[in-house]
Amino acid sequence: ASGGALAGLHVVVTSGPTHEAIDPVRYIANRSSGKQGHAIAAAAASAGARVTLIAGPVALADPPGCEVIHVENARDMLAAVEAAPPADIFIGAAAVADWRVEAASDKMKKENGGAPSLALVENPDILARVAQGKNRPRLVVGFAAETRDVLRHAQEKLARKGCDLIVANDVGAGSGVFGGDSNEAHLVSRTGVESWPRLSKKEVAARLVARLAQIFHGEAVS
């Protein structure tokens, strides 16, 4: 796909949930299916980019034209992001677990009596590391999954993590965004908000890729 809007660029996308082990047989996770992130990776590849997709555990096929690295947990996802060749654009669509469990190396046994309590430790913030690290991609795009005050939280996240754009989506009860086939997204930049109607995740991906190409090539952000 040479000559597309992202031709010559390397795009790194994270997608899906992470699984954080409780013990060798149990884990904590979230409801991300990877549909949105995988659609973005596919759209970027169709636009001519070289794409590295770093995917948590999902039930989806690898999108065509992408190099796909499969990971299990947040720390592995960070390591894969850091091991990837330098990116021009980073898009963090994964729902990375904020906390992991101080995992037991042996299966926890009911016979040991009493309910165990799980000690949680904070995971590294992959998006913030990318946005604030050396070899910063020229465009760093995060997502914000919120259940209320979507735009305010997105603007706070943009500033706190140091990214250029946040795609904010409302994942409140009844929205059907986690796991569903459509999404209602707002593209939040330092200077404004562009709200899109409810679209299929593929259409959201195509719009996002088109906007990123414009922005990367010097047109104004919203």
**Which residues does the annotation mark as catalytic?**
30
Query: Does the annotation list 125 as a binding residue?
Result: yes
Cα–Cα distance for residue pair 175/195, rounded to 1 Å? 16
Query: Does the annotation list 161 as a binding residue?
Result: yes
Query: Does the annotation list 124 as a binding residue?
Result: yes
Cα–Cα distance for residue pair 104/3, rounded to 1 Å? 51
Backbone angles phi, psi at 130, to 5 degrees: -65, -45
Q: Which residue among 46, 123, 155, 189 contacts ligand PMT (CB under 6 A)?
A: 123
Which is closer to ligand PMT, CB of 42 or CB of 93? 93
Cα–Cα distance for residue pair 197/152, rounded to 1 Å? 19
Q: Report helix, strand or coil for 140.
A: strand
Which is closer to ligand PMT, CB of 123 or CB of 189? 123
Q: Which of 94, 117, 114 is nearest to 30 (CA)?
A: 94
Site residues for ligand PMT, 157-196, by CB under 6 A, read: 157, 169, 171, 177-179
Q: Measured from the CB of residue 40, what is the shortest distance to ligand PMT in angstroms?
A: 9
Binding-site size, ligand PMT (CB under 6 A): 29
Longest CA span, the chain: 64
> For the residues of 93-108, what is the DSSP string, one character each?
-SB--SEEE---SS--
Give yes or no for residue 143 binding ligand PMT (CB under 6 A). yes
Which region among 20-28, 124-132, 191-199, 206-214 touches ligand PMT (by CB under 6 A)? 124-132
Backbone angles phi, psi at 200, to 5 degrees: -65, 155
Q: Which residue among 6, 126, 187, 209 contacts ligand PMT (CB under 6 A)?
A: 126
Q: Measured from the CB of residue 171, what is the shortest distance to ligand PMT in angstroms?
A: 5
Sketch the per residue contact string, 17 through 56, with ligand PMT: x for CB under 6 A, - otherwise: ---------------xxxxxx-------------------
Site residues for ligand PMT, 47-106, by CB under 6 A, read: 74, 92-96, 98
Residues recorded for the chain: 222
Could you tell me if 143 and 167 are in contact, meaning their C-beta atoms sit under 8 angstroms apart? yes
Cα–Cα distance for residue pair 120/118, rounded to 1 Å? 6
- Tokens 């060798």 found at: 24
Residues annotated within the binding site for CTP are 98, 107, 124-127, 143, 157, 161
Question: Using CB under 6 A as the criterion, which residues of the chain lie in contact with ligand PMT when the complex forms?
Answer: 14, 32-37, 74, 92-96, 98, 123, 125-127, 142-145, 157, 169, 171, 177-179, 201
